[in-house]
Structure 1
């Protein structure tokens, strides 16, 4: 007969955790300190809302009279995003294969993973500034920036997707005496192709947004037109540019959903 300790039955299931309480106290204390250190006050927020109201009043109604300049910047942004996405996706396909630890030895996968991590280290705006200083103002700097950003995202996820595949299919293909290329084409790619398409579509959508952002620092595209409009205090034209950017992003999101359904 098993004896039951009555003290254990009455043990409090919600015991106070001093370690967890200390961690939360430190987090809350640091947040309060950060608010005070940066001078974040409700009065400052309310004053900012007043300035924002004046800004919105000057932005509407939007001015589409310079539609030729708007379309020119938009076309360049689309070209930057599409070219960078195409090149970045192709490079990421090979880099992702070489970075997969279940396919490659460490002396190959570790350096490639280091390169991918380096591409992911900096924000696209910082990379764009470096390329603008290197190759000059214009679309080339934007394309190179987004290629680096694409590699940092897609190659990493693609390598991780390959590392999660079933090795039984690889062993079956190898047992037939197939070459390494045949193993990749007939065993690895069928298992990760749908995920790779999803990563690529997401990156194209991301590059459409970033192509306007990097233009602010001189890397071509609609961002340069937007920055110039801000400098001229031409806020009604700024509103027209912002509406155009939002429309393009929404269209891109709609098309990406269609592509995902097709390759799902």
Structure 2
């Protein structure tokens, strides 16, 4: 009950009580950030010095050197081929993996192995996968393709399984009541509800594979990443700038195409 003040006004107490546990947590988090920054030697002086070094580095990139455009175009084509092949296989494999990992469609003894497989695909950075596959199959595009296939399964498989778990089960129950087989339930009850999201996942993964294909090339998994790393090691910064501009243009073109594809399926 509300207490009465001497003036005859009801006092309901303080509706905004202080959460001392939350405040203590924020204080501990702030203290830890300060400690970690000091331990890792993160300081304003180093940041300011880095700005100067970065300015000198950028000045050495000008003027941009496109004289070796044949090498540049060839590596870009290889990068696109790696990304497209890896995305095609990764998306295709992710479809049944995501279906089998959905807990509202499959029993636990089916979902758990596929969820463990997805977790393994997500456990390592693509560069680590690239190092492993370079060791297994040698230098070249094949190692990059295998790397990005596993990266695609880890990303799309997880999101696709979660999208399936959020669907309405009423169409599925109606199809089952009409005697539809399991494949028909999937095709006519599940896929129409998640198709747009799956296309969005696939287009985003293609963009990610284009970026990652440039990164895994640094460790010898094909693509333009190897040329990028070699130019950096030779202090060939004007050609390095040309490579970076080409990668940015490639990603922007990919983003434009993915937007147009989404419009077609909406």
Is the structural similarity TM-score above 0.5? yes
Is residue 66 from structure 1 mapped to residue 60 from structure 2 by the alignment?
A: no
Cα deviation digits, residues 173-208 of structure 1 (max 9, x gap): 112222111111111111111111111011111111
Matching of residues 36-51 of structure 1 within 5 Å: 36-51=38-53
Distance across 1 between alignment mates of 2:97 and 2:161: 8
Distance across 2 between alignment mates of 1:148 and 1:169: 32
Given the two structures, how large is their TM-score scaled by the length of structure 2? 0.95
Question: Which residue of structure 1 lines up, in the alignment, with residue 15 of structure 2?
Answer: 13
Report the Cα offset of residue 261 of structure 1. Answer: 1.9
Report the Cα offset of residue 166 of structure 1. Answer: 1.2
Report the Cα offset of residue 253 of structure 1. Answer: 1.1
> What's the secondary structure of 1:93's corresponding residue?
helix
| CA RMSD in angstroms, aligned pairs only | 1.3
Aligned positions, number: 262
Contact 2:2 2:13 in 1 (8 A): no
Distance across 1 between alignment mates of 2:219 and 2:2: 72
Question: Which residue of structure 2 lines up, in the alignment, with residue 148 of structure 1?
Answer: 150
Distance across 2 between alignment mates of 1:21 and 1:182: 54
Report the Cα offset of residue 144 of structure 1. Answer: 0.4
Distance across 1 between alignment mates of 2:225 and 2:2: 73
Distance across 2 between alignment mates of 1:57 and 1:163: 52
> What's the secondary structure of 2:60's corresponding residue?
helix
Given the two structures, how large is their TM-score scaled by the length of structure 1? 0.96
Distance across 2 between alignment mates of 1:123 and 1:40: 25
Matching of residues 103-142 of structure 1 within 5 Å: 103-142=105-144
Contact 2:83 2:148 in 1 (8 A): yes
Unmatched tracts of structure 1, length 5 or more: none
Question: Which residue of structure 2 lines up, in the alignment, with residue 192 of structure 1?
Answer: 194
Matching of residues 156-171 of structure 1 within 5 Å: 156-171=158-173
Report the Cα offset of residue 4 of structure 1. Answer: 4.1
Distance across 2 between alignment mates of 1:194 and 1:16: 45
> What's the secondary structure of 1:59's corresponding residue?
coil
Distance across 2 between alignment mates of 1:190 and 1:176: 18
Distance across 2 between alignment mates of 1:4 and 1:70: 77
Distance across 1 between alignment mates of 2:175 and 2:19: 54
**Higher alpha-carbon deviation: 54-63 or 7-16:** 7-16
Unmatched tracts of structure 2, length 5 or more: none
Is residue 206 from structure 1 mapped to residue 208 from structure 2 by the alignment?
A: yes
